[in-house]
Amino acid sequence: MFDRDKYVDCFSRLRAPKDTLEKVRRRLGGHRLWNISRTGLIAAALVPLFVLTAMAAGLSGVFTRTLEEGEKLEGSMSVSSGNGSREEKNVSIDGASLCLSFDIQGECKKVYFRPGWLPGEEHPSYTDEEGYSNIIYGTEGNKGDILCSVTVYTGEKLKDMNYFFFGETRLLVQDEWLDWQRLEVEQSLTAGEGENRKNNFLLLFSPKHSYLLVIAGEEAAGTDMEDLERVAKELEINVTDKPTIAVKQKTDFANIGLAWG
């Protein structure tokens, strides 16, 4: 059932184009959207109407929020303890620039993918019949600049979680593409000796099956958005009939990154 309060709350937290706000007002029967104005909405996040329409239809949705300069994320996060293990700690995350959250509807199934095309003249062979949840390789095999990384997050990993990007990020595209809600993100990170590392991310969320594909590569390896879109177009997605195991999340935040290890 359509949740009017949730529908309006999305617009109270996120920015939308003026014509989209007018469409929302008409959807709600011409009622005034309380005291929400375009200038009073959080800056730098564009929410297309189809995202909220999907929610109204009982499908899942993805939402973005650009953090203001100096803004910190407060909550619990899984961090390394230094001996190879990880533990949950209350942290204040500084340096995050873009945050994603998800509204997950329905039962979550295990999802795998099989690549049909990958960038680079040489890359590992991926032949598992069931498919993969993660692949990564670089310009020198399993090292060097990262040519391609593909990861799938099932709905259970997305529920009640906030995924964020470190560094300077630019949300270039947020729209509907093929069967997915698409986000194209450019990320710039400061590496050693002041070097800037630039990464390209293509994030594809399935409202129907509640999974997120993250396809990425380093600019230094020559991987651009066209490469990432070709990878996506030629992926074979295996949505199984196996439910994912629900695990109570203690962690509030997780980083979407592109790195070895």
Residue 242 is predicted with a pLDDT of 95
* Helix axis angle, 49-56 to 4-13, nearest 10°: 160
Mean pLDDT, residues 192-210 taken together: 90
Q: Is the pLDDT of residue 223 over 50?
A: yes
Res. 115: pLDDT tops 60: yes
Q: Which phi and psi (to 5°) does residue 205 adopt?
A: -110, 135
Mean pLDDT of 131-152: 94
pLDDT at 134 over 70: yes
Alpha carbon of residue 120 to chain centroid: 24
pLDDT in tens, 25-47: 444 344 333 333 332 333 333 44
pLDDT band at 22 (very low <50, low <70, confident <90, very high): very low
In 3-state terms, what secondary structure has residue 2? Answer: coil
Closest CA to 90 of 248, 250, 255, 247: 250
| Residue 87 confidence (pLDDT) | 78
- 51 pLDDT above the threshold of 70: no
Contact 18, 24 (CB under 8 A): no
243 has a pLDDT exceeding 90: yes
- Per DSSP, 193 falls in state G
List, in sequence order, every residue forming a beta bridge with 133; answer none if it has no partner.
Answer: none
Higher pLDDT, 82 or 168: 168
DSSP 6-64: HHHHHHHHSB--HHHHHHHHHHTTT---TT--GGGSPTT-B--HHHHHHHHTT--EEEE
pLDDT band for position 5 (cuts 50, 70, 90): very low
Q: How far is CA 226 from CA 113, 119, 126, 218, 229, in A?
A: 19, 10, 21, 13, 5
- Round to whole Å and give the CA distance between 47 and 32: 19
Q: What is the pLDDT of residue 57?
A: 52
pLDDT at 64: 94
Average pLDDT estimate for 124-151? 93
pLDDT at 151 over 90: yes
